[in-house]
């Protein structure tokens, strides 16, 4: 079946440090890949997405590239801010309105 594995947290970084959160997936065919972010006590917000191999999703300084050869979609940001502190979820879905399959989430804490 389809599954997503992401690095366990928590991850603690100093402000302006480089961020990488690893995500790998198992799926048949060509899933669409997503990163969602959840701030404390809130629902999930879409951060970025990619729908085919070699696509790069980007938003708010975050980037992730769809790597089919390594079945990965790692999240990166060059310089994190305290406001980036949140839980980040990697997810995939197949075509159309099919449910998302989520990783377990990675909590990021950025300290000033």
Partner 1 sequence: DGGITQSPKYLFRKEGQNVTLSCEQNLNHDAMYWYRQDPGQGLRLIYYSQIVNDFQKGDIAEGYSVSREKKESFPLTVTSAQKNPTAFYLCASSKAQGTSGSKQFFGPGTRLTVL
Provide the binding-site residues for partner 1, judged by CB under 8 A: 31-32, 34, 36, 41-46, 49, 51-52, 89, 92-100, 102-105
Nearer to partner 1, 60 or 104 (CB): 104
Cα separation, 37 vs 48, whole angstroms: 9
Nearer to partner 1, 17 or 85 (CB): 85
Least distance (Å) from partner 1 to the CB of residue 79? 26
Least distance (Å) from partner 1 to the CB of residue 16? 29
* Nearest Cα to Cα of residue 109 among 3, 5, 21: 21
Centre a 10 Å sphere on the Cβ of residue 76 and count the other Cβ atoms it contains: 15
Least distance (Å) from partner 1 to the CB of residue 37? 11
Nearer to partner 1, 88 or 110 (CB): 88
**Strand, helix or coil at 39?**
coil
What residues contact 19, with CB distance under 8 A and at least 6 apart?
11, 13, 75, 76, 77, 80, 84, 108
Cα separation, 13 vs 27, whole angstroms: 31
Nearer to partner 1, 62 or 105 (CB): 105
Least distance (Å) from partner 1 to the CB of residue 81? 23
């Amino acid at each position: 079946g389809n599954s997503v594995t992401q690095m366990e947290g928590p991850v603690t970084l100093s402000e302006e440090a480089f961020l990488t959160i690893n995500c790998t997936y198992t799926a048949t065919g060509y899933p669409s890949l997503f990163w969602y972010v959840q701030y404390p006590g809130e629902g999930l917000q879409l951060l970025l997405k990619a729908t085919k191999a070699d696509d790069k999703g980007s938003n708010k300084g975050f980037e992730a590239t769809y790597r089919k050869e390594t079945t990965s979609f790692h999240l990166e940001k060059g310089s994190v801010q305290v406001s980036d502190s949140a839980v980040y979820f990697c997810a995939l879905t197949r075509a159309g309105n099919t449910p998302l399959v989520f990783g377990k989430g990675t909590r990021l804490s950025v300290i000033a």
